[in-house]
Amino acid sequence: MAATSRSSTIFIHDLRVSTRIGVYSWEAHMDQTVRLDLDIGAPSDRPFASGRFDDALDYAAVVARVKAYAAAHEHPLLERFAEGIAGIVRDEFNAPWVRVRVAKLGALPGVREIGVEIVR
């Protein structure tokens, strides 16, 4: 019998954060809301067996850390912002991988959202 592969994904979708982002001078002086979708490789399968919070990824801690990062930094490019978020999730929360999708809402006339998606 062939061995089976197991993987688990934790997701945090439609997270709205306020940050200063953009390359135009007018953007440097105003907070903008961006939408984030995070798909996170579970650091461990332990919580599925144990049911213990201590074994699980703390979603609230991830959200709080991402909001703090967004509020504390100015980001000229969505690409760099996404890379920073990916690094936080992988380094501080021990995720083996993460997909980060960042969208600026209503940034251009007639465009609902523009953004970038990375997998690290």
Residue 29 lies in a domain: yes
Residue 73: give the domain boundaries: 9-119
Residue 26 lies in a domain: yes
Residue written as token pair 């998606």: 117
DSSP letter string, 16-51:
EEEEEE-SSGGGGGS-EEEEEEEEEE-S-SHHHHH-
Residue 2 lies in a domain: no
Q: Output DSSP code: residue 86.
A: H
Residue 1 lies in a domain: no
Does residue 95 contact residue 66 with C-beta atoms inside 8 Å? no
CATH code, domain carrying 43: 3.30.1130.10
- Tell me how far apart the alpha carbons of residues 3 and 94 are, in angstroms, rounded to a whole number: 25
Total tally of structural domains belonging to the chain: 1
Residue 90 lies in a domain: yes
Burial class (CB in 10 A: 0-12, 13-18, 19+), 40: buried
Q: What is the pLDDT along the chain (120 residues), one digit of tens a residue?
A: 555 556 899 999 999 999 988 777 776 778 889 999 999 999 888 888 788 888 789 999 999 999 999 999 788 889 999 999 999 999 999 999 999 999 988 777 888 888 999 999
Residue 3 lies in a domain: no
